[in-house]
Amino acid sequence: MSARADPRRMAFTAFLCVAIVAGMTGLAFAAPPLYRAFCKLTGFGGTTQVATAAPSRVLERTIEVRFDTNVDSRLPIRFEPVARTMTLRLGETGLAYFRVANPTDKPVTAVAVFNVAPYKTGAFFQKLSCFCFNDMVIPAGAEVELPVVFFVDPALADDPDTEEVTQITLAYTYYRSLEEAGDALAAAQ
Amino acid sequence: MAADTVDAAHDHRPSIWDWKRWLYSTNHKDIGTMYIVFAIIAGVIGGAMSGVIRWELAEPGIQILHGLPWVDQTDPDAAKHAYNVLVTMHGLIMIFFMVMPAMIGGFGNWFVPLMIGAPDMAFPRMNNISFWLLPASFGLALISMFVPGNGTYPGFGGGWTLYPPLSTSDLHHGGASMDLLILSLHIAGASSILGAINFITTIFNMRAPGMTLHRMPLFVWSILVTVFLLLLALPVLAGALTMLLTDRNFGTQFFNPAGGGDPVMYQHLFWFFGHPEVYILILPGFGMISQIVSTFSRKPVFGYLGMAYAMVSIGFIGFIVWAHHMYTVGMGFDLEAYFIAATMIIAVPTGIKIFSWIATMWGGSMTFAVPMQWALGFIFLFTIGGVTGVVLANSGIDTAMHDTYYVVAHFHYVLSMGAVFTIFAGFYYWIPKMSGYRYNSFLGTLHFWVTFIGVNLIFFPQHFLGLQGMPRRHVDYAEGLAYWNHISTLGYWIAAVGVGIFMLVLIDLFAVKRRAGANPWGEGATTLEWTLSSPPPFHQFAELPVIKPDAHH
């Protein structure tokens, strides 16, 4: 409290400030994994869940599932659902096919990003297996049909936030794998 | 009166022509002066950019941008990119190189030590490096405008928020321009963090005897809250910028969905910094307005503790409302409801401040000197900006208004008229103290009215344009929007005349040399800086001032 302040006290204050700066920097870099874990845990942003077993109960109530497919401009494949929509009961296991074609004369590797809308249904959309879990190599000139096995958790009907939902859209976006995108860019340059 | 009457001959004040005085300066007043001069230069450059923007938007179509010397005249896309670069750089320059240096570096450096009775800042050499990092940073930002950014087009045109993928994709801004901009902001951030540490150490350890925290002038409180915001927010910006840099150059995938990243996470990180940043830009202004309104009402400020803790709570709430800048990313109903409610709560402490300023004037013996005119103009215009802020806080309305001129009008009312008016108010309040000379009051009043009319003419019509759906960051617009755009550009020319009058004020001030005396504002000016000579001695408070409990703030 005097203008001729104690240098040790000043150094301590400055040290605390530096610690705050270091802590906030650390938090900034901790954000990406925390953000990902948060989305996975809560279904935030329509993040779908991974299930190991089909649910024990199936409700009478039905829900319409729509399929949306997008392909990045740098990935030279065609990708579309065999059927645009399907209707199934809550808790019933559904099987949907997607058609993928590679019209080029080289194999391409594709990686998927996916979620559901409305976002609040992310916690209830359970996938038992999906082609989207792993990178996908499509041979030159090939055309294949790929399955996704899923169900909509019957708990959706019990949650007051989601009980009015009658339609869920499952969206996929395919990108070229990073190695190939880098190679293609290098070749273009 | 003068607690510190050091004879000028023993003051050790070097000549202003001695370059070492400035380059090696460890004197808080000299460094503050350099900050203010730097802010004026950057403000003129950033203001000239906004002039080119308004000139371009005076009529539909692309008028003038293909006439810029570095823009390919035959390629309309080059002109569009040049427009985007101007908009981006105008924003960054005004925030990082004009408002922040003027308020925190300039007035903060000058008056925090004086107001708390300290001889200088806690770490004078660190203060020197804080300042000298800024010209380096500004240089990098200016160079970034002239090196390849988007393909061969020069400069970064992705907006001041630097969102990926525009800022990371090799398809959009693969050139060195964005890298230079990242480094520039890193250096500006380092400068501000060092400054913040310096202010915190000074305010906590170097107050004069009797100057308890609850007796500090409100300007010192405002700087204290501001530098804490800097300390907590800037490292997050530094982190986000570093992620951009490594995404661009070292193959990380923080924001690239193809590699498992998420571009929306950048927006969360950026606005976790960005929202406190807008309070960083206005809080020191709040402090200055409190001093000025109190001085020219000849009353202590109404509700001193409420005013101080209103700033603390604005600073705190400022950290938990960031996603109201990104309602359109689709964050879900519950989160939107939270961010709407939290955002609206900020209106409560802000309202406390506005009403306390009015209550300070109530029954006061008011005089309408030039700083008071600017302060009253600020209170009026900032309130208008605050009202549109409450409108935009609602996600339903914001979904329609997002990225329209309504938003542009809102943030220019709180910054271009809020923050800038407080800077001019502070300038006219303290320049007699800083220079030792009084300015020509007629010119100061003229400067106020011309600027007041000019900026209102620029930005009030932009509310209408936004409501009609005119998007921001576009070089061209539909013909139906021409009328109010024309009015808005007319307003710019009036405001530009205002800047010219300000230059006349400066020339007149130093040419005519009217002696100001220690306290030109009379009994209303009660803070410690008015007990010193004008300009204050090079090293002040050789004898410590003692603050008594009944001294008002």
Listed in sequence order, the residues at least 6 apart from B376 whose beta carbon sits closer than 8 Å to its beta carbon are B368
Predicted pLDDT at A179: 75
A94 φ/ψ angles, rounded to the nearest 5 degrees: -110, 155
Q: Pick the residue with more confidence: A182 or B187?
A: B187
Would you place residue A186 in the very low, low, confident or very high pLDDT band (cuts 50, 70, 90)?
Answer: low
> Which residue is it, tokens 């074609």?
A101
Helix (H, G, I), strand (E, B) or coil at B153: strand
Predicted pLDDT at B65: 87
Reply yes or no: is the peptide bond before residue B535 cis, omega within 30 of 0: yes
First to last CA, chain B: 17
Which letter does DSSP use for residue A46 in this model? G
> Which residue is it, tokens 């510190």?
B4
Q: Is A175 in contact with B207 (Cβ distance < 8 A)?
A: no
CA quadruple B165, B167, B169, B171: dihedral sign: positive
Predicted pLDDT at A47: 86
Residue A5 pLDDT > 80, yes or no?
no
Total domains in the fold of chain A: 2
| B14's tokens | 């070097």
Distance from CA of A61 to the nearest CA of B (A): 24
Chain A residue numbers with beta carbons less than 8 Å from the beta carbon of B114 are none
Listed in sequence order, the residues at least 6 apart from A9 whose beta carbon sits closer than 8 Å to its beta carbon are B205
Count the Cβ atoms, other than its own, within 10 Å of residue B348.
12
Residues A82 and A136 in one domain: yes
Distance from CA of B262 to the nearest CA of A (A): 9
pLDDT by residue (tens digit) across A121-157? 988 999 888 888 888 888 988 898 989 999 999 999 9
Predicted pLDDT at B123: 95
Residues A36 and A118 in one domain: no
Beta bridge partners, A67, equal A170
Q: How many CB pairs under 8 A join A and B?
A: 111
Residues A69 and A90 in one domain: yes
**CA-based nearest residue in chain B for residue A176:** B258
CA A113 to chain centre: 5
Which letter does DSSP use for residue A52 in this model? S
Task: Please compute Rg for chain B using Cα positions.
Answer: 23
Give pLDDT tens digits along chain B (553 positions). Answer: 344 444 444 567 888 888 999 999 999 999 999 999 999 999 999 999 999 999 999 999 988 888 787 787 888 889 999 999 999 999 999 999 999 999 999 999 999 999 999 999 999 999 999 999 999 999 999 999 999 998 889 999 999 999 999 999 888 888 999 999 999 999 999 999 999 999 999 999 999 999 999 999 999 999 999 999 999 999 999 999 999 999 999 988 899 888 888 899 999 999 999 999 999 999 999 999 999 999 999 999 999 999 999 999 999 999 999 999 999 988 878 889 999 999 999 999 999 999 999 999 999 999 999 999 999 999 999 999 999 999 999 999 999 999 999 999 999 999 989 999 999 999 999 999 999 999 999 999 999 999 999 999 999 999 999 999 999 999 999 999 999 999 999 999 999 999 999 999 999 999 999 999 999 999 999 999 999 999 999 998 888 888 877 655 5
Q: Is B239 in contact with A29 (Cβ distance < 8 A)?
A: yes
Residues A131 and A80 in one domain: yes
| B408's tokens | 């542009």
**CA-based nearest residue in chain B for residue A133:** B260
Distance from CA of B390 to the nearest CA of A (A): 26
Listed in sequence order, the residues at least 6 apart from B516 whose beta carbon sits closer than 8 Å to its beta carbon are B432, B433, B435, B436, B437, B438, B534
Q: What ipTM describes this predicted complex?
A: 0.88
Predicted pLDDT at A188: 61
Listed in sequence order, the residues at least 6 apart from B164 whose beta carbon sits closer than 8 Å to its beta carbon are B244, B247, B255, B256, B263, B266
Distance from CA of B201 to the nearest CA of A (A): 6
Chain A residue numbers with beta carbons less than 8 Å from the beta carbon of B201 are 10, 13-14, 17
pLDDT by residue (tens digit) across B384-399? 999 999 999 999 999 9
Distance from CA of A129 to the nearest CA of B (A): 19
Predicted pLDDT at A4: 60
Residues A5 and A57 in one domain: no
Strands A108-117, A136-138: pairing kind:
antiparallel
pLDDT by residue (tens digit) across B416-452? 899 999 999 999 999 999 999 999 999 999 999 999 9
Report whether B455 contacts B416 (CB < 8 A).
yes
Would you place residue A101 in the very low, low, confident or very high pLDDT band (cuts 50, 70, 90)?
Answer: very high
Residues A4 and A70 in one domain: no
Chain A residue numbers with beta carbons less than 8 Å from the beta carbon of B119 are 3
Residues A91 and A25 in one domain: no
Distance from CA of B171 to the nearest CA of A (A): 10
Q: Is A32 in contact with B206 (Cβ distance < 8 A)?
A: no
CA quadruple B4, B9, B12, B14: dihedral sign: positive
Chain A residue numbers with beta carbons less than 8 Å from the beta carbon of B236 are 24-25, 27-28
Q: Is B264 in contact with A177 (Cβ distance < 8 A)?
A: no
Stretch 121-160 of chain A: residues touching chain B, C-beta under 8 Å: none
Q: Pick the residue with more confidence: A3 or B250?
A: B250
Helix (H, G, I), strand (E, B) or coil at B69: coil
Predicted pLDDT at B10: 54
pLDDT over 70, % of chain B: 97
Residues A32 and A117 in one domain: no
Would you place residue A95 in the very low, low, confident or very high pLDDT band (cuts 50, 70, 90)?
Answer: very high
Predicted pLDDT at B29: 95
Distance from CA of B197 to the nearest CA of A (A): 6
Residues A147 and A158 in one domain: yes
Chain B residue numbers with beta carbons less than 8 Å from the beta carbon of A3 are 117-119, 206-209, 541, 544
* Residues of B catalogued as catalytic: 90, 120, 160, 191-192, 275, 277, 279, 290, 324-325, 350, 353, 472
Helix (H, G, I), strand (E, B) or coil at B48: helix
Task: Let me know the angle formed at the C-alpha of B526 by B521 and B529, rounded to the nearest 5 degrees.
Answer: 85
To probe the interface with A, which of B4, B204, B211, B254 has the most A CB atoms within 10 Å? B204
Strands A62-71, B153-154: pairing kind:
unpaired
User: Given A13, A36, A175, which is nearest B204 (Cβ)?
Assistant: A13
Predicted pLDDT at A3: 45
**CA-based nearest residue in chain B for residue A71:** B258
List C-alpha distances in Å: B551 to A3, B149, B215, B528: 19, 57, 8, 11
Beta bridge partners, B515, equal B437
Predicted pLDDT at B1: 38
Task: Please compute Rg for chain A using Cα positions.
Answer: 24
Chain A residue numbers with beta carbons less than 8 Å from the beta carbon of B123 are 10, 14
Residue A36 forms contact with B (CB below 8 Å)? yes
User: Given A6, A17, A175, which is nearest B197 (Cβ)?
Assistant: A17
Nearest-angstrom CA–CA distance, B461 and B491: 10
Strands A167-176, A62-71: pairing kind:
parallel
Nearest-angstrom CA–CA distance, B59 and B74: 20
Predicted pLDDT at B337: 94
Report whether A43 contacts A156 (CB < 8 A).
no
Q: Is B258 in contact with A176 (Cβ distance < 8 A)?
A: yes
Residues A16 and A62 in one domain: no
> Which residue is it, tokens 């570096």?
B105
Chain B residue numbers with beta carbons less than 8 Å from the beta carbon of A20 are 231-232
Residues A37 and A87 in one domain: no
Predicted pLDDT at A86: 93
Residues A38 and A105 in one domain: no
Question: In sequence order, which ranges of B298-369 are alpha helices (DSSP H)?
Answer: 304-317, 333-345, 347-361
Q: Is B236 in contact with A28 (Cβ distance < 8 A)?
A: yes
Which letter does DSSP use for residue B532 in this model? S
Q: Is B238 in contact with A28 (Cβ distance < 8 A)?
A: yes
Report whether B544 contacts B18 (CB < 8 A).
no
Nearest-angstrom CA–CA distance, A27 and A132: 31
Q: Is B333 in contact with A120 (Cβ distance < 8 A)?
A: yes
Q: What is the pTM for the complete model shown?
A: 0.92
| A88's tokens | 């199934």
Q: Which of A70, A30, A184 is nearest to B254 (CA)?
A: A30
Chain B residue numbers with beta carbons less than 8 Å from the beta carbon of A8 are none
* Domain ranges, residue A29: 1-42
Q: Which helix (H) or strand (E) holds B460?
A: helix B441-467
Residue A187 forms contact with B (CB below 8 Å)? no
pLDDT by residue (tens digit) across B159-199? 999 999 999 988 888 899 999 999 999 999 999 999 999 99
Listed in sequence order, the residues at least 6 apart from B339 whose beta carbon sits closer than 8 Å to its beta carbon are B321, B323, B324, B327, B331, B395
Which letter does DSSP use for residue B481 in this model? G
- Residue A148 belongs to a domain with what CATH number? 2.60.370.10
Q: Is B123 in contact with A14 (Cβ distance < 8 A)?
A: yes
Predicted pLDDT at B406: 97
Q: Is A3 in contact with B197 (Cβ distance < 8 A)?
A: no
Chain B residue numbers with beta carbons less than 8 Å from the beta carbon of A111 are 258
Report whether B101 contacts B135 (CB < 8 A).
no
